[in-house]
Structures are given as structure tokens and as C-alpha cells.
Amino acid sequence: MKIIVLGAGMVGSAIAADLKPDYNVCCADINPEALKIISNKYKIKTLECDFSNLRQVKKIIEPFDLMVGAVPGFLGFDVLKTVIESGKNVVDISFFPEEAFELDALARDKNVTAIVDCGVAPGLCNMMLGYENNLMNIRSYECLVGGLPVKPEPPYNYKAPFSPADVIEEYVRPARYVKNKKIVVKEALSEIEAVHFDECGLLEAFNTDGLRSLILTMSHIPEMKEKTLRYPGHALLMRTFRESGFFDKQKLKVKGGKISPLDVFSKLLFEKWKYNNGEEDFTTMRVAVRGKSKGKSKKIVYSLFDKYDRKTQTMSMARTTGYTCTAAARLVIEKKYKVAGISPPEFIGADEECFNYVLNYLAERNVKVKKTMIG
């Protein structure tokens, strides 16, 4: 089995390293430095590729059996479409703004299994809802999730395990949630609330557009919401930058040239939000599902808290996102999941065998999910 991972960033490299012991793995990226690191550290084959050049993408994936997409969000949809057009099965974690189901007919026509949004959130949280949806009449779903540095540094108190532009996209894109079976749209970074977690203390939760496919696939659920977690004060700071125009994509004339504020701000933030070697992070997620089963009210809470792995020097966000993705990739490889078309993670969770496979796979890598039943 020949697998190519498109993207050699922190998460992409963790995915490639996790698959390498059992498969013939190659990793592609435009950044030669990133490829050099992954080659030296994990002895993984590499290829240089400009993902904005779709002809080049199509050419390099031709010899491979399975693709894993870990490219920046603004490239994700076009790369995914190219992979499907090539007739290759794919598991993707790219957080692109386009609607993945637009490619469903194409994937079915090509008999391609395309699992999308397959990280921790979206991803693992969707699987939890997909699983519980088979067991109870769900009335509400809430996901609180975030990845943060163990030791926050002012003024941002945040660092990004991937491109700052992708994080900023979450802060700009209008946030959708479901109330009384109707889609409600709010500004991102709105409705800030304080939430306490035993493992990491007080955090703040605010609206982002994290429900994604659940708005379509779980439209029977009256109440659904996802919020992003950060250290207190981060959301107001980001709102100040956004309202001051720093996140704007439209180019401005500056000294005879043109440049977008977002490009400048992302460039500046890249160094400020970059994790240093050995710097530790954590991921926390709480998923609450409420409803009725056999006429009785019921509440299910899934809790995840994961930290940087000192032994393997792997960031928590890379572990929780990457290993969920590689679990799904192995489901496809082992033909445990072979549905043609676009499959969001809740489709995986709806299959009990597949859901348990993913949870066991994560547990084997010490990414532990605790389930609490109330009622």
C-alpha cells in the first residue's frame, strides 16, 4: 500500500510518521526545509510540490493508492477535487471554507471514498455525535474545544500548530449554530463565556463556524453548537484586530505597491505564534449530548485532555488531529469503511465497529477519551 501525505507541517508529519511503520509512505510539500526535517527525523520519502499547481498535484499522486490531505485551508477544496478526479481514495483534514458535499456526485461517479474534516474538531467530535445518534433521540449537542500552549505568553496567550491564516479564517468566517432547528448566524468571536476545566483551569469559549457538515447531516437535532476555547482575553484582542481591518483580504495601495492587511498580519503572527522546539501544548475537548433513550432523559459527556508527548516530541494538536486521521485512513486501507462519496466523520461514528476502532486506536497512542453517562 503506497500512501502520500500532502502537507509536511506539524500535523502532516505526525500523520506520515504514524503510518510509516506499516506502509510505504511519502510526504509532499512546497517547503524544502519541512521536507528535510521529516526525512531526517522519520526517514520518510519526500517530494516537493506546489499544491496551487493542480497539474503537478495530479502528476505526483498518480503512483499512490491512498491520499491524505493536510494542506492549508485555502488550497484544500481544489486539491481534494483533483484527488477525487484522479480516482484516489482520500482522508482529508484541510479546513476549507467550501462545501465538501459539492464533490459528492463526483466521488460517487469515480467510486472514491473521501473522508473529510477528519481531525479532532471537526472530526472526532462528529464521530461521537454520529455514534450517539443511533442510540438516542438527541435534543442537543455542544462541543467545546481548543488547543493551547501549556505556558501562555502575553499578549496573545496563544500559539498556532498550523498556519496563522487558517486560525484567522476561523475568527472571520460567520459562525453558524442551530437553535430550535433553525440555523442562526453570529459573528465569530461572539458570545464569550467562561468555562472551567479541572486539567487546565479557566478558559473562555466563543462562537466559531465549527459545526460544518453537522448542519446538514444532523438537521433533525433541535440544538447544536460548537465553541472554540482560548485563554481569557484572547477573543477580545482578536476582535479588536478584526474590527481594525487587519484581517481584511482586499489589497491596499502602500507606497506604490499593493498588499492585503491579512497577508502582512499573518506574516507577522507566524513567528509570534510559532511553537519553539520542545514547547509543550495541550488539547481539551468536551462534547455534551442530551436526549432521550427508551423514554428516559439522558446526557452523555465525552471528555478529552491530551498533552505534548515528551518521548516522541509530538505536539498534542498533531496527536489528536493526526491520529484520528490515520485511524480513518487505516479503516479505508483495511476496507472496514468503503462507502463511495463524501463522508464526513459522523458517518464513520454511525458505524459502531468503526467508532470503536478509532477510540481504541487513539487509546493505544495514549490519546484517551472519557465517557460519562448521566441518567
The pLDDT assigned to 277 comes to 87
65 backbone φψ class: left, alpha, beta (φ>0; ψ -120 to 50)? alpha
Report the SS3 class of residue 288: strand
Nearest to 114 by CA among 317, 360, 334, 347: 347
- For 2-121+317-368, the fitting CATH number among 3.30.420.40, 3.40.50.720, 2.160.10.10, 1.10.10.10 is 3.40.50.720
Q: Could you tell me the three cell numbers for 80?
A: 481534494
The pLDDT assigned to 166 comes to 80
The pLDDT assigned to 160 comes to 87
Instruction: Give the integer Cα–Cα distance in Å for 178 and 221.
Output: 8
- C-beta atoms surrounding 190 within 10 Å: 14
Q: Could you tell me the three cell numbers for 193?
A: 463565556
Residue 51 has pLDDT above 90, yes or no: yes
Spatial CB neighbours of 133, under 8 Å, sequence gap ≥ 6: 218, 221, 346, 349, 350
Strands (E), 217-345: 223-230, 252-254, 257-259, 281-293, 296-307, 341-343
Query: What residues pair up with 252 in beta bridges, in sequence order?
Result: 259
Report the SS3 class of residue 223: strand
For 304-341, letters b (16+ CB in 10 Å) and e give bbbbbbeeeebbbbbbbbbbbbbbbbbbbbeeebeeeb
Rg (CA), the chain: 20
Residue 30 has pLDDT above 80, yes or no: yes
Confirm whether 2-121+317-368 and 124-307 share one CATH topology.
no
Residue 162 has pLDDT above 80, yes or no: no
Residue 250 has pLDDT above 90, yes or no: yes
Among 152-156, 192-196, 217-221, which stretch is predicted with the lowest mean pLDDT? 152-156
Residue 20 has pLDDT above 90, yes or no: yes
Instruction: Give the integer Cα–Cα distance in Å for 226 and 276.
Output: 29
The pLDDT assigned to 255 comes to 87
Q: Give residue limits of the domains in the chain.
A: 2-121+317-368, 124-307
Nearest to 324 by CA among 300, 301, 345: 345
The pLDDT assigned to 179 comes to 97
Nearest to 76 by CA among 58, 49, 100, 109: 100
Report the SS3 class of residue 342: strand
pLDDT, tens digit (0-9, with 9 covering 90-100), for 61-117? 999 999 999 999 999 999 999 999 999 999 999 989 899 999 999 999 999 999 999
The pLDDT assigned to 253 comes to 92
The pLDDT assigned to 356 comes to 98
Q: How confident is the model at residue 156 (pLDDT cuts 50, 70, 90)?
A: very high
Spatial CB neighbours of 110, under 8 Å, sequence gap ≥ 6: 84, 85, 87
Instruction: Give the integer Cα–Cα distance in Å for 190 and 205.
Output: 9
Q: Could you tell me the three cell numbers for 25?
A: 509512505
What is the average pLDDT score of the chain?
Answer: 96
Instruction: For residue 241, give the H/E element and its range.
Output: helix 234-243
Residue 353 has pLDDT above 80, yes or no: yes
The pLDDT assigned to 46 comes to 98
Nearest to 366 by CA among 297, 307, 293, 326: 307
Instruction: Give the integer Cα–Cα distance in Å for 359 and 346.
Output: 14
Residue 141 has pLDDT above 90, yes or no: yes
Q: What are phi and psi of 221, to 5 degrees?
A: -85, 125
Q: How confident is the model at residue 354 (pLDDT cuts 50, 70, 90)?
A: very high
The pLDDT assigned to 270 comes to 82
Q: Evaluate whether 350 touches 127 at the Cβ level (below 8 Å).
A: no
Q: How confident is the model at residue 306 (pLDDT cuts 50, 70, 90)?
A: very high
Residue 305 has pLDDT above 90, yes or no: yes
According to CATH, the topology of domain 124-307 is Dihydrodipicolinate Reductase; domain 2 (3.30.360)
Q: How confident is the model at residue 374 (pLDDT cuts 50, 70, 90)?
A: confident
pTM confidence score: 0.95
Q: How confident is the model at residue 147 (pLDDT cuts 50, 70, 90)?
A: very high
Q: What are phi and psi of 8, to 5 degrees?
A: -115, 30
Q: Could you tell me the three cell numbers for 245?
A: 481591518
- For the chain, the distance separating the N- and C-terminal CA atoms, rounded to the nearest angstrom, is 46
Q: Evaluate whether 198 touches 48 at the Cβ level (below 8 Å).
A: no
